[in-house]
Structure 1
Amino acid sequence: MRFLVWLLRAFLFFALFAFALNNQQVVTVHWFFGFVWNAPLVIVVLAALVAGLVFGVLAMTPSWWRQRRRARQRPSAEPPAPAEAPSASAARAIPADFPDGI
């Protein structure tokens, strides 16, 4: 299994490396107020990926904080309630032709 994981990682690395080698053309990104940025296309794509990741993490942070606060407020001394056993009528609902319920 480890060999397959490393094989997948190697494939992903070489695919991204080939992508970077095929996208070395210089592109111009025009920002507001006349600001211009010239960079290789692969750098622009990587910067967009990083910006998206940062934006996603920042957007999720308030939700994470809220969940952590709720988890700390719950009393941990109480054990969870035991699950109820199925009733006898529910056990009889499965026909004898289908012992596994399918």
Structure 2
Amino acid sequence: MKYLLWLLKAAIFFTLFAFALNNQHDATVYFFFGTSWRAPLVLVVLAAFAGGLVVGALGMLPGWWKHRVAAQRPAEPPPGTPAVTAPPASNTLPTDLPAVRQHGL
């Protein structure tokens, strides 16, 4: 299984490497106010991918933050539920516990 995963990774790498070799000609990206950027097509595609990752992560950041804050707060019981109290402690000794069968070596 490990060799199959390495083979898959190598196939993806060589496919992307062949894509990069086949797209070395220059591409021009035009921005506002007459500015432009000339770069190999592979760098333009890579920059667009990286920009999409950054925009996606920034778009998810408020949700992550909300869930992180909610996870740090102690859980509150829903309204209208009776308060649960702990049962009284019994005087059990460690010898009163059932025997546990050990497994393994």
TM-score by length of 2: 0.69
**Deviation per residue, 1:4-23 (Å, 9 max, x gap):** 11111000000000000000
Aligned to 2:99: none
Query: 2: distance between equivalents of 1:61 and 1:70?
Result: 14
Aligned to 2:19: 19
- Three-state SS of the structure 1 residue aligned to 2:28 is strand
Query: 2: distance between equivalents of 1:27 and 1:72?
Result: 49
Aligned to 1:48: 48
1:52 offset after TM fit, Å?
0.1
Query: 2: distance between equivalents of 1:74 and 1:18?
Result: 53
Structure 2 gap ranges (5+): 76-105
Aligned to 2:62: 62
Report the aligned-residue RMSD. Answer: 0.7
- Three-state SS of the structure 2 residue aligned to 1:74 is coil
More helix by percentage: 1
Aligned to 1:33: 33
Structure 1 gap ranges (5+): 76-102
TM-score by length of 1: 0.71
Query: 2: distance between equivalents of 1:15 and 1:57?
Result: 27
**Deviation per residue, 1:42-100 (Å, 9 max, x gap):** 0000000000000000100110010011111134xxxxxxxxxxxxxxxxxxxxxxxxx
